[in-house]
């Protein structure tokens, strides 16, 4: 009976050691996954040039289309054909430009500030 107890204990110690190794591997994998997820999230927050351009275009076009459709609907209700559509088209153009300016200000505020030392090359030549 003593031999069977020793075998059980030694196998229990071995499985605990293996479980400990497995736990360490799982922790390392979780750390790697969190680091990669943070890097991906950071890249997704940064918009590319085409993404910024698409946002600007969509801000402008959507304002013009919505305002024109609203003006057309009001013209259809009151029976005044092009008057409200033209007025709302101009208002949509102004609202679209305002949206583009606001989006540009937001993008400029969120952009990383350049390092002033890297903007101007150092001139070692003395004239």
Per-residue pLDDT tens listing for the chain (127 residues): 455 555 555 565 667 777 888 888 888 877 777 777 766 666 666 778 888 899 999 999 999 999 999 999 999 999 998 999 999 999 999 999 999 999 999 888 877 777 777 777 666 776 5
Spatial separation of the C-alpha atoms in residues 40 and 87, rounded to whole Å: 45
Query: Is pTM beyond 0.85 here?
Result: no
Closest CA to 53 of 103, 112, 106, 114: 103
Q: Is the dihedral of CA 61, 63, 69, 75 positive or negative?
A: negative
């Amino acid at each position: 009976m003593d031999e069977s107890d020793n075998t059980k204990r030694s196998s229990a110690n071995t499985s605990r050691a293996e479980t400990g190794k497995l736990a360490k591997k799982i922790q390392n994998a979780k750390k790697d996954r969190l680091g990669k997820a943070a890097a991906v999230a950071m890249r997704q927050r940064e918009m590319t040039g085409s993404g910024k351009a698409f946002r600007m275009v969509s801000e402008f076009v959507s304002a013009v289309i919505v305002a024109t459709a609203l003006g057309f609907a009001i013209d259809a209700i009151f029976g005044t054909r092009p008057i409200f559509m033209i007025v709302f088209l101009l208002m949509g153009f102004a609202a679209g430009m305002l949206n583009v300016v606001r989006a540009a200000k937001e993008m400029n505020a969120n952009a990383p500030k350049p390092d002033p030392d890297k903007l101007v090359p150092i001139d070692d030549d003395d004239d």
